[in-house]
Amino acid sequence: MTLVERTVALRERCASLSTLGDRIEEARKLATRLEELRGVAEKLPDSLKTIDMLAKAGVAVQGSASSAAQVRNAIAKIKTRFAQAREPDALTKGQDWRVLIRELPKVVGELDQSAVESWDTHAQQLFAGDSPSAIERTLAPTDANKAALFKYRQAYERYVRLRSSLPEGTEAVAGLARVAQELKSVKFDYNVPASVRKFLEALPAGAPLALLTAEVRDWIDQKGLVERYQVVANR
């Protein structure tokens, strides 16, 4: 190989290395942009998946991500520029990239908030009854009411637990509906005379004989509870 040939080959090699260096630098810049975008969009797929699952399960999803319009607009402009000039600087030219990085986390937050509010509204529509403690304050402590209250309290605890966090799937959505129906099916006896209620409330500490009125005795007879109670002298 002559000196001229060697010089030409070396020049071509230098040019090739220079081009390779430029490509490496472009790849580095693209990787930086990709990592930046991944950092702010990491939770977006899960948020969208939750919204989609709720909608498919029959939950009316309320609200919308107001920041989404700005994000879509910024993405459209960035894609157009990058299609025209496939280089890293095309991504960050102007304000669009900064808008995308700033607004995308807001979209995720708004989607999550919409999911939580929609789930809470759905739960309220399924069942909005009183708590067991509130019901207990209004009930006469008859055996039937005690049994019903026990059943109600167990179902209510399951209901509160299910509605307190977003469901992981459609089965959890259906589960809440089943528990709500179970709560609605529990019946209490509110048609208890005041004298009977007063007598029953006094029993745990020992009801005075004066509370055993004719009305109370008739109620005990009607319920077939004569053998349930006995008179004990106060010591």
Q: What is the pLDDT of residues 128-158, one digit of tens each?
A: 889 999 888 888 898 899 999 999 999 999 9
Work out the pLDDT band at 20, boundaries 50, 70, 90: very low
- The total of other beta-carbon atoms located within 10 Å of residue 227's CB is 7
Burial of 200 (C-beta count, 10 Å sphere; 0-12/13-18/19+): buried
- Virtual torsion, Cα 141, 144, 147, 150, nearest 10 deg: -50
Over its C-alpha atoms, the chain yields an Rg (Å, rounded) of: 36
Nearest to 230 by CA among 209, 214, 213: 209
Distance CA 66, CA 90 (A): 26
Backbone phi, psi, residue 121, to 5°: -65, -40
- In this structure, of 42-51, 68-77, 132-141, the range with the lowest mean pLDDT score is 68-77
pTM (predicted TM-score): 0.71
Q: What would the two tokens of residue 45 be? A: 């797929």
Work out the pLDDT band at 192, boundaries 50, 70, 90: confident
Q: What is the pLDDT of residue 7?
A: 46
CB–CB of 136/149 below 8 Å? yes
Backbone phi, psi, residue 216, to 5°: -65, -45
- The total of other beta-carbon atoms located within 10 Å of residue 77's CB is 17
- Per-residue pLDDT reduced to its tens digit, 147-190: 999 999 999 999 999 999 999 999 999 999 999 999 999 998 88
pLDDT over threshold 70, residue 29: no
Nearest to 64 by CA among 46, 39, 47: 47
Work out the pLDDT band at 89, boundaries 50, 70, 90: confident
